[in-house]
């Protein structure tokens, strides 16, 4: 079937954009391109399937009876016609000639100016005898779903090979259709990549109560039967009777056309941070692509990639794909499971968990360097949205905040909808914020279906539908009006009823530079304070009165009472003299560990309070550098011998050496057009100019290294002045608004004023640090 373009507005003069694949990632690229430049391309889509695009993620919901085939369509056939897209159904691309810029198919050939490979993934089929027999299925397409439904009405016993996400959802779907289902899994627990032992055990028990049987640590040796399946034989000699078999042991990127066309591949088609392959004019997106060694199979990263690629295709650089924190939510009625980030604990992790065997609820939180790094929820997943955003924000949390996360039941979202900021993401798959949904509701979209159609929230995996429904309910009752950030109203800590803003204002107005004075005059419940208020008050005292606040000579105190000192240097770069000094001092003091932080800064760990004065004296470094949050500077390893970049990195490090920051902030200087994995700010040198990016977003560009230096200094000073304590620069930019921040730092007078203030502050801080005695 072929959908011809409906317009005649000079499509010959447009660039020819060809997409191989009509799945979720490829179609999202087209949607984003149409938003940015609806008349720039003559678009052709090649699809091996015989129908327009649909939501493949919801196939398991169709099998379970929660959705219909029509309800999972992404776009009807008419959409392609309306947008002048040539859709070639049942046509397989076989080879790419990058020199001639042509794609060859099983029905002909076509030329392109830009080509996007979006071939997705294909099911992994076990290489065992009998896989070609009648009754062996995979579960990947609508046709697979239809065939499984048909066989479920004719036969009674099914074996599902694979106890991962897809296998369990397929098993539940078949059980819903009345089939006796056995799940065969090689590991000793189901969903072992996403769940720990406790969550996996609870999930297994829940599914067993629904009639699903599990055979764990079983390796299939053969699918038995003559022409049709009659069962399975395992490596241990045992057997299982089955009428049909579903292969759900995983997927692998579909890279056949790339390999045939000599486009570099590993597990997937290798792409950079702009989704470009190594071949000019050829891109890859979605499950077939491999970015930094990872091929993503979930919808959120696919859509993030699509947004980046669309801008690249349209000649609007500035977005970079930096990888995605993965989150998994099982789509089975009556079973609530969620996992995100890291789920297994390493030596550097702190773990908090709670288990209620009676209610069947389990929560596990993993923290690294005081930041939430991973979460596993079973039974009650209402907190999943909050936890995922905390993992992505990588914001340090106090011990009280960690404990509160563990004890919350997730109902806070419904209770505090009004206080959530407009920027708060409700739908992570499609990056739909609270503000987007509120705008849609104000425009008359008052049902789930209307919100899905208007904003795409809840239209992918469906995991956020409960949150969207809660917003609709609150809106109907007039409760969803305020958009004030809850951080502005929450008490700083249990020691006081004052907010952070009120504490900061009092420190500035009353010149409260000593904590004991502040706690007394502001009526602290605990006069000695806690770690949170002592850190926050010390930061604001140093911010408002540089050089005037007493700087305690200590490092960061850990939960076990020991101290950690992080040493300042360009990340990962140390002289031989420094290494000798650290080694001798560590040997003399019997320091338990010399480690590297996540940002390659050397750390002395396990120090006692009595050892601190000697360490400060030996290192001959100002205490402001050794304690607290500050700027860290890195230079891309592959370009360290680049004099201009190294000089810029050293200037930034020297200038901000003794200047406190509200949150750990890293600047990475690089020649590559990509963002350092952990850097908050990336300064990259392109052939034309310098680019300044915050996170994955291009903030600005500048023609000279000096202009870039002055601009970044003003940006960092404005961040210091207006950010809340522990608020990272990306969260600050979202809250303040990128347009506003650009207006401030681009204005010549404002930039000069900010840099003058910074010069005065750094002069005082350096002078004060140099004259401080060793205690």
- How far apart, in whole angstroms, are the C-alpha atoms of residue 184 and residue 212? 11
- How far apart, in whole angstroms, are the C-alpha atoms of residue 429 and residue 232? 38
- How far apart, in whole angstroms, are the C-alpha atoms of residue 492 and residue 504? 10
For residue 556, name the pLDDT band (cuts at 50, 70, 90): low
For residue 636, name the pLDDT band (cuts at 50, 70, 90): low
Is the distance from CB of 682 to CB of 673 less than 8 angstroms?
A: no
What's the N-to-C CA distance of the chain in angstroms? 82
For the chain, percent of residues with pLDDT exceeding 70? 83
For residue 619, name the pLDDT band (cuts at 50, 70, 90): low
- Average per-residue pLDDT in the chain? 82
Q: What is the pLDDT of residue 223?
A: 96
pLDDT digits (tens, 9 = 90+) for 305-321: 999 999 899 988 667 88
User: Could you tell me the sign of the dihedral formed by the alpha carbons of 122, 125, 130, 134, in that order?
Assistant: negative
- For 41-96, the three-class secondary structure string (H helix, E strand, C coil) is EEEEEECCCCCCCECHHHHHHHHCCCCCCHHHECCCHHHHHHCCEEEECCCCEEEE
Of 261, 255, 315, nearest to 284 by C-alpha is 255
For residue 233, name the pLDDT band (cuts at 50, 70, 90): very high
When pLDDT is averaged across residues 343-367 and rounded to a whole number, the result is 89
- How far apart, in whole angstroms, are the C-alpha atoms of residue 213 and residue 204? 9
Where b means 16+ CB within 10 Å and e means fewer, 642-651 reads beebbebbee
- How far apart, in whole angstroms, are the C-alpha atoms of residue 34 and residue 677? 30
Q: Give the domain ranges of the chain.
A: 2-121+253-313, 136-249, 491-544, 551-628, 630-775
| CATH for 136-249 (3.40.630.10, 3.40.640.10, 3.30.310.50, 3.50.50.60) | 3.50.50.60
For residue 430, the SS3 value is coil
Q: Does domain 2-121+253-313 have CATH number 3.50.50.60?
A: yes
Is the distance from CB of 485 to CB of 469 less than 8 angstroms?
A: no
Q: How many secondary structure helices (H) and strands (E) does the chain include?
A: 25, 37
pTM assigned to the model: 0.63
For residue 680, the SS3 value is coil
- How far apart, in whole angstroms, are the C-alpha atoms of residue 49 and residue 63? 19
pLDDT digits (tens, 9 = 90+) for 132-186: 999 999 999 999 999 999 999 999 999 999 999 999 999 999 999 999 999 999 9
- How far apart, in whole angstroms, are the C-alpha atoms of residue 550 and residue 544? 13
Of 80, 83, 61, nearest to 72 by C-alpha is 61
Distance of CA 579 to CAs 585, 595, 608, 618, Å? Answer: 10, 12, 21, 13
Give Cα 195 to chain centroid, integer Å.
Answer: 18
More confident residue, 486 or 550: 550
DSSP labels, 468-487: HHHHHHHHHTT-------GG
More confident residue, 356 or 637: 356
CB atoms within 10 A of CB 282: 22
Same fold across 551-628 and 630-775: no
Tokens found for residue 98 = 């990058």
User: Could you tell me the sign of the dihedral formed by the alpha carbons of 251, 257, 259, 263, in that order?
Assistant: negative
When pLDDT is averaged across residues 385-409 and rounded to a whole number, the result is 82
Is the distance from CB of 242 to CB of 130 less than 8 angstroms?
A: no
Q: What is the pLDDT of residue 12?
A: 59
Mean pLDDT is highest, among 80-94, 389-403, 553-567, for: 80-94
Q: What is the pLDDT of residue 641?
A: 64
Of 407, 405, 404, nearest to 388 by C-alpha is 405
Q: What is the pLDDT of residue 139?
A: 92
Q: What is the pLDDT of residue 445?
A: 78
More confident residue, 194 or 620: 194
**Half-sphere exposure at residue 439, Cβ-oriented, CA atoms within 13 angstroms:** 10
Beta bridge partners of 593: 605
For residue 581, name the pLDDT band (cuts at 50, 70, 90): confident
- How far apart, in whole angstroms, are the C-alpha atoms of residue 507 and residue 514? 9
Asked which of 243-247, 333-337, 357-361, 716-720 is least confident by mean pLDDT, the reply is 333-337
For residue 357, the SS3 value is coil
When pLDDT is averaged across residues 493-511 and rounded to a whole number, the result is 84
For residue 129, the SS3 value is coil
When pLDDT is averaged across residues 617-626 and rounded to a whole number, the result is 53
Using the predicted structure, report yes or no on whether residue 734 has a pLDDT greater than 80: no
Mean pLDDT is highest, among 154-163, 583-592, 605-614, 731-740, for: 154-163
Within the chain, what is the greatest distance between any pair of CA atoms? 89
Asked which of 33-37, 218-222, 267-271 is least confident by mean pLDDT, the reply is 33-37
- For 706-754, the three-class secondary structure string (H helix, E strand, C coil) is HHHHHHHHHHHHHHHHHCCCCCCHHHHHHHHCHHHHHHHHHCHHHHHHH
For residue 2, name the pLDDT band (cuts at 50, 70, 90): low
At residue 201, φ and ψ (nearest 5 deg) are -65, -45
Q: What is the pLDDT of residue 677?
A: 46
Is the distance from CB of 162 to CB of 249 less than 8 angstroms?
A: yes
Q: What is the pLDDT of residue 587?
A: 79
- CATH architecture of the domain 630-775 equals 2-Layer Sandwich (3.30)
Q: What is the pLDDT of residue 622?
A: 47
Q: What is the pLDDT of residue 127?
A: 93
For residue 701, name the pLDDT band (cuts at 50, 70, 90): confident
Q: What is the pLDDT of residue 770?
A: 42
With a CB cutoff of 8 Å and minimum separation 6, the contacts of 550 are 513, 514
Distance of CA 738 to CAs 4, 304, 579, 685, 743, Å? Answer: 41, 19, 41, 22, 9
Of 705, 714, 723, 712, nearest to 756 by C-alpha is 714
For residue 442, name the pLDDT band (cuts at 50, 70, 90): low
Q: What is the pLDDT of residue 145?
A: 93
| CATH for 551-628 (1.20.1260, 2.60.40, 3.30.70, 3.30.930) | 3.30.70
More confident residue, 643 or 259: 259
Tokens found for residue 524 = 């602290």
Using the predicted structure, report yes or no on whether residue 340 has a pLDDT greater than 50: yes
Q: At what angle do helices 576-589 and 612-619 cross, to 10 degrees?
A: 160
Q: What is the pLDDT of residue 300?
A: 86
Is the distance from CB of 59 to CB of 38 less than 8 angstroms?
A: no
Using the predicted structure, report yes or no on whether residue 95 has a pLDDT greater than 60: yes
Using the predicted structure, report yes or no on whether residue 202 has a pLDDT greater than 90: yes
Q: What is the pLDDT of residue 487?
A: 42
For the chain, percent of residues with pLDDT exceeding 90? 39
């Amino acid at each position: 079937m072929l959908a011809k373009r409906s317009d005649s507005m000079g499509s010959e003069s447009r660039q020819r954009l060809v997409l191989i694949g009509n799945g979720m990632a490829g179609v999202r690229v087209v949607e984003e391109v149409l938003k940015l430049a609806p008349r720039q391309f003559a678009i052709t889509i090649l699809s091996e399937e015989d129908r327009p695009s649909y939501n493949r993620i919801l196939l398991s919901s169709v099998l379970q009876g929660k959705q219909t085939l029509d309800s999972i369509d992404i776009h009807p056939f008419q959409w392609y016609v309306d947008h002048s897209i040539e859709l070639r159904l049942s046509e397989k691309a076989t080879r790419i000639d990058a020199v001639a810029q042509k794609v060859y198919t099983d029905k002909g050939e076509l030329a392109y100016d830009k080509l996007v490979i979006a071939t997705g993934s294909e099911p992994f089929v076990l290489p065992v005898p009998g896989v070609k027999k009648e009754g062996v299925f995979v579960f990947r397409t609508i046709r697979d779903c239809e065939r499984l439904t048909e066989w479920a009405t004719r036969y009674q016993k099914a074996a599902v090979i694979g106890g991962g996400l897809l296998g369990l959802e397929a098993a539940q779907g078949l059980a819903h259709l009345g089939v006796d289902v056995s799940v065969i899994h090689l590991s000793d627990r189901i969903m072992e990549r996403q769940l720990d032992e406790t969550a996996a055990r609870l999930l297994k028990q829940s599914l067993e109560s629904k009639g699903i049987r599990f055979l764990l640590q079983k390796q299939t040796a053969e699918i038995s039967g003559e022409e049709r399946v009659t069962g399975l034989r395992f490596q241990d000699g045992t057997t299982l009777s089955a009428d049909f078999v579903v292969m759900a042991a995983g997927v692998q990127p579909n890279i056949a056309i790339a390999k045939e066309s000599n486009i570099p591949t590993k597990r997937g088609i290798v792409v950079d941070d702009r989704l470009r392959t190594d071949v000019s004019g050829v891109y890859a997106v979605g499950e077939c692509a491999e970015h930094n060694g990872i091929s993503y199979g979930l919808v959120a990263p696919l859509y993030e990639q699509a947004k980046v690629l669309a801008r690249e295709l349209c000649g609007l650089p500035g977005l970079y794909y930096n990888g995605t924190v993965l989150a998994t939510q099982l789509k089975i009625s009556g079973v609530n499971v969620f996992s995100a980030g890291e789920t297994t604990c390493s030596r550097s992790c702190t773990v908090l968990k709670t288990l209620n065997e009676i209610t069947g609820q389990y929560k596990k939180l993993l923290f690294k360097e005081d930041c939430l790094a991973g979460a596993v929820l079973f039974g009650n997943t209402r907190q999943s949205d909050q936890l995922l955003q905390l993992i992505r924000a990588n914001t340090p949390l106090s011990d009280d905040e960690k404990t509160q996360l563990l004890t919350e039941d997730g109902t806070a979202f419904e209770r505090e909808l009004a206080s959530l900021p407009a920027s708060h993401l409700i739908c992570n798959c499609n990056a739909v914020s609270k503000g987007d949904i509120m705008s849609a509701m104000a425009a008359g979209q008052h049902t789930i279906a209307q919100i899905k159609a208007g904003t795409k929230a809840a239209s992918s995996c469906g995991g956020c539908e409960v949150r969207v429904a809660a917003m609709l309910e609150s809106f109907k009752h007039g409760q969803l009006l305020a958009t004030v950030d809850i951080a502005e109203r929450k008490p700083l800590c249990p020691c006081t009823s004052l907010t952070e803003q009120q504490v900061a204002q009092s420190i500035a107005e009353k010149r409260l530079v000593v904590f004991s004075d502040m706690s007394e005059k502001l009526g602290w419940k605990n006069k000695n304070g806690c770690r949170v208020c002592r850190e926050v008050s010390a930061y604001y005292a140093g911010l408002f009165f540089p050089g005037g606040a007493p700087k305690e000579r200590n490092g960061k105190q850990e939960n076990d009472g020991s101290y950690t000192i992080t040493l300042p240097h360009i990340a990962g770069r140390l002289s031989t003299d420094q290494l000798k000094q650290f080694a001798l001092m560590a040997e003399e003091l019997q320091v338990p560990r010399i480690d590297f932080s996540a940002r390659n800064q050397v750390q002395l760990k396990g120090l006692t309070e009595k050892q601190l004065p000697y360490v400060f004296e030996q290192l001959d470094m100002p205490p402001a550098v050794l304690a607290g949050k500050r700027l860290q500077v890195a230079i891309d390893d592959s370009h360290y011998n680049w004099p201009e970049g190294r000089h810029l990195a050293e200037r930034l490090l020297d200038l901000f050496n003794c200047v406190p920051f509200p949150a750990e902030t890293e600047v990475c200087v690089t020649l590559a057009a990509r963002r350092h994995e952990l850097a908050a700010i990336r300064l990259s040198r392109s052939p034309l100019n310098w680019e300044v990016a915050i996170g994955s977003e291009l903030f600005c560009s500048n023609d000279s290294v000096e202009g870039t230096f002055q601009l970044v200094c003003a940006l960092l000073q404005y961040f210091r002045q207006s950010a809340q304590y522990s608020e990272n620069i990306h969260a600050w930019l979202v809250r303040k608004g990128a347009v506003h921040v650009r207006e401030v730092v681009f204005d010549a007078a404002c930039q000069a004023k900010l840099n003058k203030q910074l010069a005065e502050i750094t002069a005082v801080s350096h002078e004060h640090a140099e004259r401080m005695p060793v205690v």
